[in-house]
């Protein structure tokens, strides 16, 4: 298995639109189809972790106008752009890992599972996978066959990582929009059954309303109970929960401000 090749790019100005320049550099190196991926929901207290994948080829035209990292867009803008991205991409897919899988295998293995499910849904097999960030969470470690979830794919393509790819690379930004809109829709549907937690607004992140409901009512089957959630006793809570994360909309204000 080819190891991930990390790259670091200077952060573009906040007003700059991402382009396909980096993706096309990879395609010119003999890659016939490049998959570009981003994740959402890693730091949420409830709901799935989700990975979106967009495939581009040498024939792919510039991305639809307005494509940005999903955290920099309003919900209405993401909803408007998602079908345009689906028509624009050579192919696309979104994969999820459920809270029970996060509890059973850990967040990184769950991210891997969601990514593998997304890759399995592609109609065009990619020759290379580009990930946002500096960590390859897609390539399975050797011990994963013993400790991780059942395999979805026999193998994954070679992985490249790029820090701030969601700000620089249009296809990665497009993947983030597909992942965000699909996960948001799931959390909005779950809100109908559990309105006390405010998921239609906070999407499962640690907003005050969500934390207050956890303290008052405890967790639902959609919460990640291996994490140290309010409302769980020490015996029930997991030993090492990730830090709470604010809703993506709040993060967007932080980035923009």
Annotated binding-site ranges for a divalent metal cation: 38-39, 132
Please say whether the beta carbons of 60 and 85 come within 8 A. no
Binding residues: 38-39, 132
Give the SS3 label for residue 218: coil
What does the DSSP 8-state code read for residue 226?
A: T
Question: For residues 142 and 46, what is the distance between their CA atoms, to the nearest angstrom?
Answer: 29
Question: For residues 202 and 45, what is the distance between their CA atoms, to the nearest angstrom?
Answer: 10
**C-alpha to C-alpha distances, 152 to 112, 114, 118, 181, nearest whole angstrom:** 10, 10, 10, 24
Q: Which of 92, 7, 8 is nearest to 51 (CA)?
A: 92
Give the SS3 label for residue 197: helix
Beta carbons within 8 Å of 173's beta carbon, 6+ residues apart: 18, 38, 63, 67, 68, 69, 70, 166, 167
Please say whether the beta carbons of 159 and 112 come within 8 A. no
Question: For residues 23 and 31, what is the distance between their CA atoms, to the nearest angstrom?
Answer: 10
């Amino acid at each position: 298995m080819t190891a991930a090749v990390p790259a670091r790019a200077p952060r573009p100005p906040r007003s700059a639109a991402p382009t396909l320049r980096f993706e096309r550099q990879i395609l010119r190196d003999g890659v016939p189809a490049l998959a570009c991926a981003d994740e959402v929901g890693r730091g949420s207290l409830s709901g799935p972790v989700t990975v979106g994948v967009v495939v581009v080829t040498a024939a792919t035209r510039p991305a639809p106008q307005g494509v940005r990292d999903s955290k920099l867009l309003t919900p209405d803008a993401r909803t408007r752009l998602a079908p345009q991205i689906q028509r624009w991409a050579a192919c696309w897919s979104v994969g999820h890992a459920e809270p029970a899988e996060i509890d059973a295998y850990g967040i990184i293995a769950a991210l891997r599972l969601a990514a593998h499910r997304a890759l399995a849904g592609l109609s065009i097999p990619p020759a290379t996978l580009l990930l946002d960030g500096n960590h390859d969470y897609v390539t399975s470690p050797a011990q994963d066959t013993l400790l991780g979830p059942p395999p979805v794919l026999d193998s994954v393509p070679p992985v490249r990582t790029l820090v701030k790819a969601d700000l620089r690379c249009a296809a990665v930004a497009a993947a983030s929009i597909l992942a965000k809109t699909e996960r948001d829709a799931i959390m909005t549907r779950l809100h109908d059954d559990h309105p006390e937690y405010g998921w239609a607004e906070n999407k499962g992140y640690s907003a005050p309303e969500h934390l207050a409901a956890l303290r008052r009512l405890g967790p639902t089957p959609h919460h990640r109970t291996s994490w140290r959630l309010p409302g769980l006793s020490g015996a029930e809570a997991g030993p090492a929960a990730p830090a709470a994360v604010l809703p993506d909309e709040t993060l967007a204000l932080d980035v923009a401000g």
